[in-house]
Amino acid sequence: MEVSNADRVVFPNDGITKGDVVGYYERVAERMLPFIEGRPLSVERFPRGIGGQGFMQKNVPEHAPEDLIGRYTVPKEDGGTTTYPMVSTAEGITFFANLGVITFHVPPARIEDEMHPDWAIWDLDPPPGSVDLVREAAKEMHSVLEGYGIPTLLLTSGSKGYHLRAPLAPTVDFESVAFVARGTAAVAAAANEDLMTLAFRKADRGDRVFIDWMRNTPRSTSVVPWSLRPRQGAPVATPISWTELDQVAPDQVRMGNIAERSRKRPWAKAQAIDLSAVVEKVEADLASSEIVLEPFDRFRS
């Protein structure tokens, strides 16, 4: 690809240029594609680099070539429509990198079956500077999910925390997946109340790790594995194995040291699971406990 303004510095503290960013995405595009294909794409663009103004873009760019970038139009809740871009090739990923895109985001369902997610995601968000705390929370959350028969994959967020992800057979709807995600998070928080919380407001969390289960609702998105993040050092949201948790910090894998990491495939043997039976198990456990799930609207007020 011919890169426009290739010498423009995108990560000013690291001397990383736009040409470097496009080159990075050319190298990892094939690894990213399985997480992007078939999903409406949202992107974070920083046309002047991360030191300048960035913005989230959902609508497909007007000049995007139709033979390279697909379109998927959905109605907005308040009227009108959003036409999302769709990418199915490595060239499509680098097209967006050349537009100044740093980070790619997608929803947990494909458009072919948009009401039945094929991912469940738990985003662990710790207080600043609490890597040991979020590692402990990841282990506890992992243990709870394993107890429900939900094997999870581990992703460094490229920011402060980790994401736990479970590939799903698309057999249950968003409401059921969100219920399982929230219910298991509530069980984990109740068993580790000094470590984890579901409190949406930061003022209510104290020094605890917030379990963000809301990545599992319609129109929600999460970062695509192998995406750069717009932070100093050019960190990467990276798949890792559970045995690496104590060695790899959430922002430790960076564009500059990605070569060694990109040879590893810790998610290669992941298999999708059916959550149907898990829904009933979570319902039964919540009913027999003192855990009360407040109405979701409270978290949006």
**Residue 1 covered by a domain:** no
- pTM over 0.85? The answer is yes
**Residue 167 covered by a domain:** yes
Tokens of 61: 């760019």
Same-domain status, 154 and 239: no
Closest-CA residue to 164 (of 236, 215, 89): 215
Q: Which percentage of the chain shows pLDDT scores above 90? A: 89
pLDDT per position as a tens digit, 63-119? 999 999 999 999 998 889 999 999 999 999 999 999 999 999 999 999 999 999 999
**Residue 280 covered by a domain:** yes
Number of structural domains (the chain) is 2
Question: Which CATH number fits the domain that encloses residue 54?
Answer: 3.90.920.10
Q: What is the mean pLDDT of residues 277-294?
A: 90
Phi-psi region of 186 (alpha: psi -120 to 50; beta: other; left: phi over 0): alpha
Same-domain status, 75 and 197: no
pLDDT per position as a tens digit, 234-246? 999 999 999 999 9
- For residue 74, what are the domain limits? 9-106+224-262
Contact 69, 95 (CB under 8 A): yes
CB atoms within 10 A of CB 29: 19
Q: How far apart are CA 55 and CA 164, in angstroms?
A: 26
What's the length of the chain? 301
Phi-psi region of 245 (alpha: psi -120 to 50; beta: other; left: phi over 0): alpha
Mean pLDDT score of the chain: 94
